[in-house]
Amino acid sequence: MSDDPKDQLDALSTSFREEVEAALDEDALYAVQVKYLGKKGLVSRQRAHMGKLAPEQRKAFGQAFNQTKGALEQLLAARREALTEAARSLRLARREDLTMLAQRRSAGSLHPITHTRRRLEAVFRGMGYDVLDGPHVEHQQYNFDDLNFQPDHPARDMQDTFFVQGRAGTDVDPLVLRTHTSPVQIRAMLTRPPPVRVIAQGTVFRRDDDATHSPMFHQIEGLCIDRGVGMADLKATLYRFVQAFFGSDLQVRLRPSFFPFVEPGAEFDMQCPFGREPSCRVCKGSGWIELGGSGMVHPAVLDAVDIDPEVYTGWAFGFGIDRMAMLLHAVPHMRLLFESDVRFLEQFPC
């Protein structure tokens, strides 16, 4: 390096520019600043040469030193601003653009049967009933015997019932896939002293398969045991249920029928919520839709669960949840409810 202070200043200025351009972050740039422009930096120490210069040279060197130092400080500031902007751009690139619309995954919905079941439960809970369920594999005592099904009743045949173990008339203790939710009522009456007000709901199994029946379907049953309970209470309860579930003043009617576990027994119908048009495929122009069976609990059933039929009476009813889902959502075939076809299920944003 030349002994001329001006040449030395120019050489340091060149080195400073190269190191500033090579600095890739704020820490490296600060190190260059300290090295050259710090209190004891290479450029700062050049001021000491002024005392060794002749008086006529000091002014020119002083002006050159100040100009060089000012230029280096401007270069340092420009490089610092460039590094700051680069760091900001990098941070923004790592973040999501908050001005863009979020691509959300579409939310799922309840299955029509689940939606219908929850609506049914909500209605009966509002009327003061407990909602219960029981095991799918049931002993024949609870599924048939305690419900006054005689040993030769057709429902006990292999053609109608899925036997898991044994069958009626054999030495093996028969277990069946429950054919209705009535065993839940038996269990409730065995464990709860009267008054009893429960709703039994869940999956049941029968050997049926057509447009309105499935080998596996869902059922809901109501039971009320108390002193002085009669058919008028049953009809009033069904009327209040239909009114609450469909949100309109639809009438209910009872038609005499036979069921082993009730006496007297009745089929119960409701007014068609879609009108009484001849073209209505739900009621076929009759104005009425059959919902299920009902009646006063048979004294033999009360005896089977150690409830005195001379003191207590009760009523029961039952109908299919799947049938209600078909009615509520105008589903033409029950099989559609069990095929898990997304194209079908997307039509019901429940």
pLDDT digit string (tens) for 264-307? Answer: 999 999 888 776 677 777 777 788 888 899 999 999 999 999 99
pLDDT at 185 > cutoff 80: yes
- Check residue 3 and give its pLDDT: 65
Q: Which residue type does 271 have?
A: Q
- Tokens for 173? 């203790």
Distance CA(289)–CA(270), nearest Å, equals: 5
| Triad 201, 203, 205: Cα angle to 5° | 130
| Triad 345, 134, 137: Cα angle to 5° | 90
pLDDT band at 138 (very low <50, low <70, confident <90, very high): very high
pLDDT at 121 > cutoff 60: yes
pLDDT at 57 > cutoff 80: no
| Triad 204, 206, 211: Cα angle to 5° | 100
pLDDT band at 128 (very low <50, low <70, confident <90, very high): very high
Calculate the alpha carbon distances from 4 to 7, 12, 62, 63, 320 in Å. Answer: 5, 12, 14, 15, 107
pLDDT at 45 > cutoff 70: yes
Q: What is the dihedral of CA 57, 58, 62, 68, to 10 degrees?
A: 40
Q: Which residue has the higher pLDDT, 35 or 171?
A: 35
Give the residue among 217, 222, 195, 194 at the shortest CA–CA distance from 205: 217
pLDDT band at 104 (very low <50, low <70, confident <90, very high): confident
Single pTM value for the model: 0.65
pLDDT band at 77 (very low <50, low <70, confident <90, very high): confident
Distance of CA 71 to the CA centre of its chain: 67
- Check residue 276 and give its pLDDT: 66
pLDDT at 33 > cutoff 90: no
- At 199-247, the pLDDT tens digits run 999 999 988 766 556 788 899 999 999 999 999 999 999 999 988 888 7
